[in-house]
Amino acid sequence: MPELPGTVDPPGDDPVPHAHFRLGDAPSRQRYELWRDSISCIFEVEAPPDLRAGGDFSAEIEASVFDSIMLARTRTLEQRWHRTPALMARDGMDHYMIQLYEHGDMLWEARDGARSFPTDGLVVFDLAQQVKTRTNNFANLSLFIPRIMLEEHLKSSGDQHLRVLTGREPMVQLLRDHMLSLKRLAPRISARQAVAIAPATVGLAAACLNAAVSPDDPRQSSGVAMARTSAVKRFIELHLDDPRLSADRIARQAGMSRSKLYELFEAYGGVARYVRHRRLRRALLALTDRTHAHCTIYEIALMVGYENDAAFIRAFRNRYGVTPLDVRMAGGIPAEAQRRTAGIDRRHEAWVHHLGL
């Protein structure tokens, strides 16, 4: 496990890292802005004017890190939540987030109309994708799992964003109960035990997401189509640095017609869009990775299959709303996110960014 700010590596018998963000001791006029600044590690938020201006604004996050995954309980008031392309570019996170609500509700717009959080169910977020929701007063639990740990175990890794898992399904109840148990037992779990808990939790999450697929869900492919799509994705990932990667080449390699390839990737907005987004995602991770700090923007463009930096910069800006240099100059996670601010514990901000690194 990589060393997290404020933790000891290698893991031993000490409790798992635990942070508790709360506004109780902050001046009433500063509470909302402190919260807004802290939660911007994941979301941009907007509370109603009367809540922002009043002295009764409240928010609280309790976070525990179990080796390479994190569980956080959030309690706060009515707000709107937005994960924008610019925010995704700034933080570079590549996690899945699985949520349950203890009380309150979340609402969002989906293709089939307005949706709300399922009773006793779960909702899955892909933090590499844009989202906009609104909540009333609530308390929820969020399980953060790095994509690299979970994706390879999923039958349909690209179709998880805003998946609604009904509480009637036994596997959903198992994962929900597991998350609640982790929260309850966190003070008694050691860092050494967390090393075994993390892969077990990821395995349970994968089993839940795979078992919860409904045969009449229009987003799900047949087993054969799913296997072919996965094979094509693996080929794409291995050749993202090749500027000659094209739909024709991918189709020939996969032994299928271009029309069949387009059909498989229709849900992703087309194969060209999928390749472009994967290239830009890899570039974003390289720009925020300290091991690539010596690379120029041009060298990173070459790493992801662009033959010149002008085309790369244009595509990156169209995707994320900022330039690669903007991301590079931001310098990753601000140092202030790794310390306590005005006596408020904000360590969870750095922890969520460092998962899986």
DSSP code for 166: -
Using 70 as the pLDDT threshold, list the residues of the chain that sit under it: 1-12, 54, 212-227, 267, 331-342, 356-357
* Predicted local distance difference test score (pLDDT) of residue 9: 43
Q: Which domains does the chain have, with CATH numbers?
A: 18-216+333-354 (2.60.120.10), 223-330 (1.10.10.60)
pTM (two decimals): 0.72
- Within 10 angstroms of residue 288's Cβ, the number of other Cβ atoms is 23
Three-state DSSP string of 50-86: HHHHCCCCCEEEEEEEECCEEEEEEEECCEEEEECHH
* Predicted local distance difference test score (pLDDT) of residue 205: 95
pLDDT tens across 117-160, in order?
999 999 999 998 889 999 999 999 999 998 888 987 887 777 78
Instruction: Reduce the DSSP state of residue 109 to 3 states and report it.
Output: strand
* Predicted local distance difference test score (pLDDT) of residue 215: 41
pLDDT tens across 226-284, in order?
667 778 888 898 899 999 999 999 999 989 999 999 988 886 778 998 899 889 878 88
Rounded distance between C-alpha atoms, residue 266 and residue 221, angstroms: 11
* Predicted local distance difference test score (pLDDT) of residue 179: 97
